[in-house]
């Protein structure tokens, strides 16, 4: 049977964890085979703060995706976010030994490897090294240097940096959930893949992904990533404000926000009131929708102001850096009523809501093309680009079960020690294929040289 290129993305968010299994159909579009969603319990503001709860939530999402699709997940591409993420601009160069030879992939790889060795602050690690424009022997604005002649190859880079411990914690959670980590992608980059068109990236666009715990920003211009940032506020702080402002419990505050919330207070009349059941026989509470909108408005304005500060820091006001395509809003927070109008009002930039349906197959479930799933769809696309074989059909893995079952019987005395070793190694003890683990790790390093070095070694 021909191997299918099945890709799996895992979005570890502050409010939800989504596992998504997909493949490319014959038209080059993404066909979603299964999706699993669980409440995220051990994550705050994009960072794991409770390993055990996060592992349980991941396993629950993986299990649901497997049941929905009939595929067994082997490895995943995971999204990295959190307030510890920062990005820097860096320029580096190499002098080539033989300028008479044309520039090849290995020259660019050499340059990227050099940037990967940059000295970071203690406890920080490079996640992405993204080349921008190249310069060959002083000739600038070269987008594709391969095939050209030159002695000195120079490039400006967008380097994304994160806290090593936070990244390792994510890796630990995934390996402890019984699956391998095949790659890491910055969440705003994944969302951008899912919702932005190439034309928008060329014209200049800011993608704002409003999640539960963080708001991610990615800015593109001339088709190149120019700036990324993660702001430690999201939909959860809006819910908290409603909870405090209206003296109600969190569950009710979330429902109020989703059902009746609006980012524009002028919309509601003074006499519009919603009644909320009281706790344990207490009187019901009456809440004015105008007040509710005022609470939401104040917090959304604060979030948008912070994002806009980052957009201005990139240099949006410089005519050459102008973002002609404006802003694209995505993530769960983009579903808030009138948020598009508010963002346009604050920033003066054209705004649209980004749905991840551009790359999805026509028959996809309507739920999947919600802004809520933008990051997950982007992670699956990222996994497909790596030609992942991240999941196999359940029926294709039946035969090995018989062989696995015999092994412990013959080695009943020695099992005690190896089991713990297998767990430490993050190997699936049932399938005693240590060599494949090595192969996965080796190919991980091959494919992600420009991402995290020695990640899995350190994670162990």
pLDDT digits (tens, 9 = 90+) for 370-381: 999 999 999 999
Q: What is the pLDDT of residue 386?
A: 79
Average confidence (pLDDT) over 304-310: 95
Is residue 399 scored above 60 in pLDDT?
A: no
Domain annotation covers residue 261: yes
Would you call 28 helix, strand, or coil by DSSP?
A: coil
Q: What is the pLDDT of residue 459?
A: 46
Would you call 151 helix, strand, or coil by DSSP?
A: coil
Is residue 444 scored above 50 in pLDDT?
A: no
75 - beta bridge partners? Answer: 180
Q: What is the pLDDT of residue 29?
A: 87
Average pLDDT in the chain:
84
Would you call 321 helix, strand, or coil by DSSP?
A: helix
Average confidence (pLDDT) over 147-162: 93
Is residue 254 scored above 90 in pLDDT?
A: yes
* 432 vs 290, higher pLDDT: 290
Q: What is the pLDDT of residue 345?
A: 95
* Helix (H) or strand (E) run with residue 90 in it: strand 86-95
How many whole angstroms separate alpha carbon 47 and alpha carbon 170? 8
Domain CATH for 272: 3.30.420.40
* 436 vs 152, higher pLDDT: 152
* Confidence bin at 157 (pLDDT 50/70/90): very high
Q: What is the pLDDT of residue 324?
A: 95
Domain annotation covers residue 289: yes
Average confidence (pLDDT) over 47-66: 94
Domain annotation covers residue 225: yes
Average confidence (pLDDT) over 402-418: 39
Domain annotation covers residue 273: yes
Asked if 111 and 93 count as a contact pair (C-beta separation under 8 A), the reply is yes
Residues 6+ apart with CB under 8 A from 396: 1
Report the share of the chain in percent with pLDDT over 70. 85
Is residue 180 scored above 80 in pLDDT?
A: yes
Average confidence (pLDDT) over 402-426: 39
Domain annotation covers residue 302: yes
Domain residues for 315?
A: 198-357
Domain annotation covers residue 234: yes
pLDDT tens digits, one per residue of 202-252: 999 999 999 999 999 999 999 999 999 999 999 999 999 999 998 899 999
* Confidence bin at 454 (pLDDT 50/70/90): low
pLDDT tens digits, one per residue of 97-112: 888 899 999 999 999 9
Average confidence (pLDDT) over 32-48: 91
How many whole angstroms separate alpha carbon 54 and alpha carbon 68? 21
CA angle 384, 57, 456 (to 5 degrees): 55
Tell me which of 107-111, 182-186, 270-274 is least confident: 270-274
Reading the block at residue 79, the tokens are 């999204």
How many independent structural domains does the chain possess? 1
Is residue 457 scored above 90 in pLDDT?
A: no
Domain annotation covers residue 272: yes
How many whole angstroms separate alpha carbon 414 and alpha carbon 419? 9
How many whole angstroms separate alpha carbon 22 and alpha carbon 30? 6
Domain annotation covers residue 246: yes
- Tell whether pTM > 0.85: no
Report the share of the chain in percent with pLDDT over 90. 63
Radius of gyration of the chain (CA): 24
User: For the chain, how far is it from start to end, CA to CA, in angstroms?
Assistant: 35
* Helix (H) or strand (E) run with residue 69 in it: helix 51-69
Q: What is the pLDDT of residue 404?
A: 41
Average confidence (pLDDT) over 345-354: 95
> If you ran DSSP here, which 8-state letter would residue 454 be given?
T
Q: What is the pLDDT of residue 196?
A: 95
Residue 259 has phi, psi (to 5 degrees) of: -85, -40
> If you ran DSSP here, which 8-state letter would residue 282 be given?
P
How many whole angstroms separate alpha carbon 297 and alpha carbon 295? 6
Reading the block at residue 348, the tokens are 């003066």
How many whole angstroms separate alpha carbon 5 and alpha carbon 11? 20
């Amino acid at each position: 049977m021909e191997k299918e290129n099945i890709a799996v993305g895992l979005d570890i968010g502050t409010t939800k964890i989504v596992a998504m299994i997909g493949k490319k159909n014959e038209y080059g579009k993404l066909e979603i085979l299964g999706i699993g969603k669980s409440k995220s319990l051990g994550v705050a503001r994009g960072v794991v703060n409770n390993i055990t709860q996060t592992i349980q939530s991941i396993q629950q999402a993986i299990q649901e995706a497997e049941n929905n699709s009939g595929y067994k997940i082997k490895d995943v591409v995971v999204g990295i976010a959190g307030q510890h993420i920062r990005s820097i601009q860096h320029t580096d160069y190499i002098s080539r030994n033989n300028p008479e030879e044309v520039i090849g992939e290995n020259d660019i790889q050499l340059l990227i490897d050099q940037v990967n060795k940059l000295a970071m602050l203690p406890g920080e690690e490079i996640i992405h090294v993204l080349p921008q424009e190249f310069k060959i022997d002083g000739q600038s604005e070269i987008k594709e240097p391969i095939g050209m002649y030159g002695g000195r190859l120079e490039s400006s880079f967008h380097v994304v940096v994160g806290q090593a411990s936070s990244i390792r914690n994510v890796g630990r959670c995934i390996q402890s959930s019984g699956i391998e980590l095949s790659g890491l992608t910055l969440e705003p980059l994944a969302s951008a893949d899912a919702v932005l068109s190439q034309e928008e990236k060329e014209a200049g666009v800011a993608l704002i992904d409003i999640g539960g715990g963080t708001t991610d920003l990615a800015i593109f211009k001339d088709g190149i990533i120019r700036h990324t940032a993660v702001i430690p506020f999201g939909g959860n702080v809006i819910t908290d404000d409603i909870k405090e402002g209206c003296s109600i419990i969190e569950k009710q505050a979330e429902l109020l926000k989703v059902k009746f919330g609006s980012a524009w207070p002028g919309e509601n009349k003074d006499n519009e009131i919603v009644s909320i059941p009281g706790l344990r026989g207490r009187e019901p509470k009456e809440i004015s929708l105008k007040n509710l909108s005022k609470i939401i408005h104040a917090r959304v304005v604060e979030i948008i102001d912070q994002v806009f500060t980052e957009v201005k820091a990139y240099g949006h006001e410089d005519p050459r850096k102008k973002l002609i395509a404006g802003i694209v809003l995505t993530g769960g927070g983009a579903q808030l009523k009138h948020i598009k109008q508010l963002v346009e009002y604050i920033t003066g930039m054209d705004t649209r809501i980004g749905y991840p349906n551009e790359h999805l197959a026509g028959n996809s479930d309507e739920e999947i093309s919600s802004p809520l799933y933008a990051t997950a769809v982007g992670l699956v696309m990222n996994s497909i680009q790596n030609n992942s074989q991240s999941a196999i059909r359940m029926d294709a893995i039946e035969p090995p079960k018989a062989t696995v079952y015999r092994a412990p019987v013959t080695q009943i005395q020695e099992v005690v020690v190896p089991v713990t070793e297998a767990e430490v190694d993050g190997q699936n003890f049932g399938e005693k294929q240590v060599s494949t683990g090595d192969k996965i790790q080796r190919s991980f390093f091959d494919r992600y040289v420009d991402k995290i070095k020695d990640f899995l070694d350190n994670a162990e």
